[in-house]
Amino acid sequence: MTSDAELPPEATAQVVADALARLEPVLPLLRDLGERFAADGHELALVGGPVRDAFLGRDSLDLDLTTSARPEQIEPLLERWGSATWDMGRDFGTIGARRGETVVEVTTYRADEYDRTTRKPVVAFGDDLAGDLVRRDFTVNAMALRLPHLELVDPHGGMLDLAAGRLRTPSTPEVSFADDPLRMLRAARFVAQLGLTPAPDVVTAMTAAAPSLEIVSAERVRDELVKLLLAPDPVAGLRLLVDTGLADQVLPELPALRLEIDEHHRHKDVYEHSLTVLQQAIDLESGADGPVPGPDLVLRLAALLHDIGKPATRRFEDGGGVSFHHHDVVGAKLTAKRMRALRFDKDTTKAVARLVELHLRFHGYGDGQWTDSAVRRYVTDAGDLLQRLHRLTRADCTTRNRRKADRLRRAYDDLEERIDRLAEQEELDRVRPELDGNHIGEILGIPPGPELGEAYRFLLELRLDEGVLGPEVAAERLRRWWAGRSSA
């Protein structure tokens, strides 16, 4: 919309009017709350994310407010205004309240100082809005709307920065990032989420302060990384993390993919390839009613990390070739290790690592020479990750050779068609032996235990190899197997 020049007054008025129109559904409640605070002699302002999002034309679920009132003064005011209140952190000055479907969080002006070693704030309450805003992370989050009169307070040019697509800090970036190093990750997240471009001094400060991120807890790092990955353009945010050295602190496996390319360019830039795969996987996410509704964290993590086993497995072969044997298995282990370090939950970690382990399985399919048994095993091994595996495998094709790309696409089309046909015939997504444990025990005359488990696995292998045989044939094959096992 503009660069460094100020917006003309008429344009500013229109932008503010549009933002207020976006907030119109909640303005009556906010005005009422502002009047109540003013009647008691306190200032109140809508601040941060909801103001920023209103200027961007986005709906915001959060209604964050800041006030000159102290927590003990906030609480009775909210009790009279809302239907419920709760203490969200009295020591930090935050009280929450609900009125109908509207939820607000009201926080006393802050004037914190930080312990630069542990990043723990020494909580101090401030007395004015300007002092509160200058301590916020970025100018686009340092705008406020005074209530009840809806006066815009923008001392650091946040609205102009939004118009220019620019990311700056209210104070110097060195001071801002020293106060809270997590803000550097948040900068990358806003690049991915809002399409902002960090100012040169912000990038310089991020690069210099990257090592300080080590004092931030793994949980806080994980949460920011997740928000970045689920944003509309995570590739842009990830590039900033790598270029500034922040990725070396939080996700070192990613910059490690920047392998040196041999002089004959016989293998791809794995880093660029991985970012391309991530973008292509995002493009393959389905709508809300589809099999992989986007944004899908498991698919995006698997796409980003699928090749992180390559640096450890790279070998230069005789004749100038390069190989990465077993990088799928090694990569799965590295993926699980990194995700555990970032405190991801067990289910997400297991799912992402499994996709990394399986991402090469399709390449044994060739021109469709797999047996039905091999197709069944492919589906069984993928389990409930099958739809994500379909998308990861397709996204992993980044060759510029159109003929090769078309061949791979046709081969995977063929595999999916075979899976669908077998699923119709055999309900493949629920593959089980044709006899359950009770029937196996009755036929063989054995109690529950290791032998019954072994018999169950035999029938499962039989089911995978030969498909549906019918209970009678399955029972006869079981007896023959048992007799042979016993004689052996």
SS3 329: helix
Determine whether 217 is exposed, middle or buried from the number of CB atoms within 10 Å of its CB (0-12, 13-18, 19+): exposed
Shared-domain flag, residues 301 and 232: no
Contacts of 450 (CB under 8 A, 6+ apart): none
Shared-domain flag, residues 257 and 241: no
| pLDDT number for residue 429 | 56
CA distance 116 to 113: 9
Residue 153 near residue 109, CB atoms below 8 Å:
no
Output the DSSP codes for 403-430: HHHHHHHHHHHHHHHHHHHHHHHH-GGG
Contacts of 187 (CB under 8 A, 6+ apart): 138, 167, 198, 202, 206, 240
Shared-domain flag, residues 423 and 448: no
Shared-domain flag, residues 261 and 337: yes
Residue 478 near residue 463, CB atoms below 8 Å:
no
CATH number at residue 263: 1.10.3210
Shared-domain flag, residues 136 and 74: yes
Domain count, the chain: 4
| pLDDT number for residue 426 | 65
| pLDDT number for residue 89 | 76
Q: Which domain range does residue 451 map to?
A: 437-487
Shared-domain flag, residues 128 and 31: yes
Shared-domain flag, residues 217 and 276: no
Shared-domain flag, residues 156 and 213: no
Which of 251, 286, 316 finishes a domain?
251
| pLDDT number for residue 6 | 62
| pLDDT number for residue 116 | 59
Q: What tokens were used for 96?
A: 């929450």
Along the chain (488 residues), what's the average pLDDT of each consecutive run of 10 residues? 54 86 92 96 96 90 92 94 88 90 93 61 79 94 96 94 95 93 97 97 98 94 98 98 97 89 56 96 94 97 96 80 86 98 97 97 78 89 95 92 89 90 70 88 92 92 87 94 82
The DSSP symbol for 140 reads G
| pLDDT number for residue 318 | 74
| pLDDT number for residue 468 | 84
Shared-domain flag, residues 419 and 463: no
Which of 135, 168, 201 finishes a domain?
168
pTM to 2 decimals? Answer: 0.83
CATH number at residue 222: 1.10.110.30
Interval 381-434: pLDDT, tens: 999 999 999 999 999 998 888 998 898 899 899 999 999 888 877 665 567 888
Shared-domain flag, residues 389 and 481: no
The DSSP symbol for 211 reads G
| pLDDT number for residue 59 | 83
CA distance 49 to 19: 13
Q: What tokens were used for 82?
A: 């809302």
| pLDDT number for residue 51 | 95
Tokens 């698997």 belong to which residue? Answer: 302
| pLDDT number for residue 123 | 65
- The beta-strand segments (E) located in 38-178 are 44-47, 64-67, 84-89, 94-99, 102-108, 113-114, 121-122, 144-147, 151-153, 166-167
Reference 383, options 429, 328, 329, 433; nearest CA is 429
Instruction: Name the average pLDDT for the chain.
Output: 90
Shared-domain flag, residues 161 and 260: no
CATH number at residue 45: 3.30.460.10
Which of 168, 197, 213 finishes a domain?
168
| pLDDT number for residue 244 | 98
Shared-domain flag, residues 311 and 420: yes
